[in-house]
Structure 1
Amino acid sequence: MRRFCLLALSLLLAAAAPVERWRVTAVLDGDTLELEDGRRIRLAGIEAAKPPRNAPSDEERRWPLAEAAAAALSELALGRLVTTHGETAPDRHGRTMAHLLRDDGLWLQAEMLARGHARVHTRPDARAYAREMLATEDGARGARRGLWRTRVYAVRDADPGTLARDRDSFQIVEGRVLRVSKTGGEAYLDFGEDWRTDVTVHISRPVMRDFAKAGIDPLSYEGRRVRVRGWIGLRSGPMIDITHPEQIERLEGGAAPARPSVPRAGAGAATDEDVEEEDSE
């Protein structure tokens, strides 16, 4: 069923795609390739397996997961004609972030996710098709394909001790939100009883507006299990700063009563009145 849905979506995208196509002349890593016109394309919305930032240079050359991802993308794209679909955007390295369709309609992002060679890593300016990509990633993770067979990429529990060791890295975290509080137009999702030491997700004021536009009330996360992806920082315990709504997935299952927790200074639980005020700005 998953493959059928991906095929149907790929054909739909291909039908709407522009006619102009370019040949892939080089694959630089598991999510970056070069076209015959000289452009370097970064596959938008995903991040392939790569060596850890602190890995020695000789270890980087032998990083099996990165090698497997690059080999898979080479098999899928090298020498093939591709076309971009949807909006494109430059990244800070001068590459073009884009969704790519092969000449036969294959969606490269979806195939890399389905094979377990990449994770979904959307950005504020590269978040199209997030729902479809998250569903594909979930299938690969459930089947333990590729990088999902290793502890390096395992989904983390919302445990402050574990996440403190993952500081300054991109992680996927799951846990139950015990409390949602709001202050100054910002929202905080607390996963523990004391926000000063436990795991917190922070939604800034500008991003709160994006949540409102998407019809998502952060209050709906209270008492729910969620899956959050983002960079781990340390600020009164491990914290993930949310830059766009697609970073948070509400998982299946009913809400559990939120346990009492230490109130955040100057903040209480958000009220319906607070949400209406935020939406009206």
Structure 2
Amino acid sequence: MRRPDFVSMAALAFVSAASQAATACDVLDMRPGGTVVEVTDGDTVVLDDGRRVRLIGTQAPKLPLGREDFDIWPLAPQSQNVLAELALNKSVRLGFGGEAMDRHERVLAHMFVAEGAQEHWAQLHMIEKGMARVYSFPDNRKCLDVLLAAEARARSARLGIWADPYYSVRAADKADDLLKRAGHYELVEGRVLLADRQGSRVYLNFGRFWKEDFTAVIEASALRLFTADKLDPLALEGALVRIRGWVDDRDGPRIEITHPEQIEVLATQ
């Protein structure tokens, strides 16, 4: 893959402008759901047949849910209330676009809530209200372009979580600040100083001192997804990007990239 190939594909696969907003979710496998009888939090519901449904593609502010010494994330009760107002005691359909069950035996699905003759896509509703952000997985990548575009609009308007510093987009060149967010899911923006392949990994370095500065690491399994999408992460060198994922501390702050949608290209120059 040559550098120009990547640049020509960036807007399609990395940048989420709502280019396919009208049809993005037509690819889902739609199935009957049932009635929502409980809203656990802003991204999980319980159906009348006992199934727990995790709204795949989103992450709402977290509640303790029985976990000791767990700090409630800002706006978690509000997020739960918004989802309850949308879905509680209403009939839903479920749309599947990848892995259908997680290790906690939760159903992983997009949820569509019946409202008269219309349906409301729960994930899109929560993100548009600023009550959730996009949170994706390598085995569930459908419809993300629409959700990312909606998130960008909500963030620009400072709706919901986007008005709270807890959810601020972090600067890639503030390594010390990012280290304080180790263990947290973050959005990080900056310019890739060096994109380098070492063995089976690609490293996106955002500073000159790779043992101290922020780095995004793309492992071999993720690189296979990039290759399948005809994307070359080495072409990101010099690009202004937004990375999303869990921050850890290994030779400075870093985020592991497991699939292409964790990277949004904001500018190639």
TM bracket (short chain): 0.7 to 0.9
Shift of 1:22: 0.8
Letter in 2 for 1:93: H
| Contact persistence 1:29–1:70 (CA under 8 A) | yes
* Aligned position for 1:270: none
| Contact persistence 1:49–1:66 (CA under 8 A) | yes
Task: State yes or no: 1:99 paired with 2:114.
Answer: no
**Which of 231, 242, 246 matches 2:257?**
242
Shift of 1:141: 0.2
* Aligned position for 2:241: 226
* Aligned position for 1:175: 190
| Contact persistence 1:46–1:121 (CA under 8 A) | yes
Task: State yes or no: 1:69 paired with 2:83.
Answer: no
Change (3 A) 1:173 1:58: closer
Q: Deviations over 1:16-49 (max 9, x none)?
A: 7646341111111110001111100000010001
CA distance in structure 1 between the partners assigned to 2:70 and 2:233 by the alignment: 45
* Aligned position for 1:141: 155
Q: What value does the CA root-mean-square deviation take over the aligned residues? A: 2.5
CA distance in structure 1 between the partners assigned to 2:153 and 2:167 by the alignment: 15
Shift of 1:13: 4.2
More displaced stretch, 213-222 vs 79-88: 79-88
Q: Structure 2: which 5+ runs fail to align?
A: 1-16
Task: State yes or no: 1:24 paired with 2:36.
Answer: yes
Q: Structure 1: which 5+ runs fail to align?
A: 256-281
Shift of 1:59: 6.2
* Aligned position for 1:274: none
Q: Deviations over 1:170-201 (max 9, x none)?
A: 10100000001111131000000111111101
* Aligned position for 2:47: 35
Task: State yes or no: 1:47 paired with 2:59.
Answer: yes
| Contact persistence 1:13–1:85 (CA under 8 A) | no
Consecutive aligned runs of 4 or more in structure 1 exceeding 6 Å deviation: none
How does the TM-score come out when normalised to structure 1? 0.81
CA distance in structure 1 between the partners assigned to 2:49 and 2:159 by the alignment: 34
Shift of 1:211: 0.5
Q: Deviations over 1:135-176 (max 9, x none)?
A: 000000000000000000000001211100001111010000
Percent sequence identity is 40
* Aligned position for 2:123: 109
How many residue pairs get aligned? The number is 246
**Which of 219, 243, 252 matches 1:204?**
219
Task: State yes or no: 1:90 paired with 2:104.
Answer: no
3-state secondary structure, aligned to 1:90: coil
Shift of 1:254: 3.9
Change (3 A) 1:51 1:78: closer
3-state secondary structure, aligned to 1:106: strand
Q: Which has the higher contact order (CA 8 A, sep 6+)?
A: 2
Task: State yes or no: 1:190 paired with 2:205.
Answer: yes
CA distance in structure 1 between the partners assigned to 2:263 and 2:48 by the alignment: 37
